[in-house]
Amino acid sequence: MSVRVNVMPRVALWLGVGALLCASACDRSTARANVAPPLMVGAAAPVYDAAALDSAPLHVGGASSDVVLLNVWATWCTSCREEFAELERMRVQYGERGLRVVAVSVDQGSDLKVRKFVSQQGSRFPVAHDREARISALYGVMGLPATYLVGRDGTVKWTLTGSFLVDSAGLTRAIESSIAGR
């Protein structure tokens, strides 16, 4: 007894998957043409200006009297949502010692979902909504969340793509060192 298997549906499926992967790669290479390479420790943090959700000016990059912890995130990103409370805890713990925490949402669309999430969190640090993701192109963001610690001299002291909760000890050491001026 022989079993006859029609392989044409499988071939069509794999050809379709291949076409989608190719189209995706082509779209990414075109989109990345205007994106800076990812920032490395020691690099100068690009100047980024925006209005926070409360309309206050938000500024990152360049020399500053504060050490800045910048978090690039989105409401749809589970890891981003999980670490949001930790950002507030860091603001409380290190704020009086010179750490300024700022977050920039790259959600598309209106501010509504960003405002709702921030309100639910009870966070008291500035949050901007960058629906055009200008910060992503400027900082070379390749995934979310992306977190940068910028020293008073305007250089990147620590950076991580992905949840900083997996390297919270490394971030804490970098914050302590930056605040101390080392």
pLDDT at site 137: 96
Amino acid 182: pLDDT = 75
Q: What is the pLDDT of residue 20?
A: 38
Q: Find the largest Cα–Cα distance for the chain.
A: 82
In this predicted structure, what is the pLDDT of residue 167?
A: 82
- Each domain of the chain, given as residue ranges in start order, spans 37-180
pLDDT of residue 6: 52
- Ranges of the chain whose pLDDT falls below 50: 2-3, 5, 7-32
Q: Give how far the C-alpha of residue 92 lies from the chain's centroid of Cα atoms, to the nearest Å.
A: 21
We find that the CATH architecture of domain 37-180 is 3-Layer(aba) Sandwich (3.40)
Residue identified by tokens 């993701």 is: 133
Q: What is the pLDDT of residues 120-137, one digit of tens each?
A: 999 999 999 999 999 999
